[in-house]
Amino acid sequence: MAKILIVEDEVHIMRVMTLWIGRHGHEVLEANNGAVALEILKDHAVDLIISDMNMPKMDGLALLRAVRTERSLNTPFMLMTARCDQEDLRNKMEPFGVQLYAKPFVPSRLVANIERLIGAHKSEEVAH
């Protein structure tokens, strides 16, 4: 079981993600923007962060930068977006080694991708 932080400002998307991820045995923490997510990360270690790109107060890219540079966390990070400039976003995220996941999403595929990312990260930790 993994602990996953979902950062999403749209309530219905948060509910769907929490439901599907929880059904697969993972614990879910929720934040409605990046600033709230950083507060949660002060008190909780998580195995994966899934963040929406466009949110009020602090967007997903700003959260990613804060997690990697200010907090020095190497936690796997998945950035979700419905934006049409996904190639530009991929270029901005490349230095951080982050996966971009398009919205709308298929919940079962999202969960499979989550489990793959968590498994790959745990394998890297064992190797080191």
Q: State the Cα–Cα distance between residues 4 and 22, nearest whole angstrom.
A: 9
pLDDT of residue 2: 93
Q: State the Cα–Cα distance between residues 71 and 87, nearest whole angstrom.
A: 27
- Average of per-residue pLDDT across 49-68: 92
Structure confidence by residue, pLDDT tens digits, 12-35: 999 999 999 999 999 999 999 999
Q: Give the right CATH number for 3-127 from 3.40.50.720, 3.30.420.40, 3.40.50.2300, 2.60.40.420.
A: 3.40.50.2300
* pTM reported for the whole predicted model: 0.88
The pLDDT-based confidence of 117 (bands split at 50, 70, 90) is confident
pLDDT of residue 84: 65
Locus of tokens 């950062």: 7
Residue extents of the structural domains in the chain: 3-127
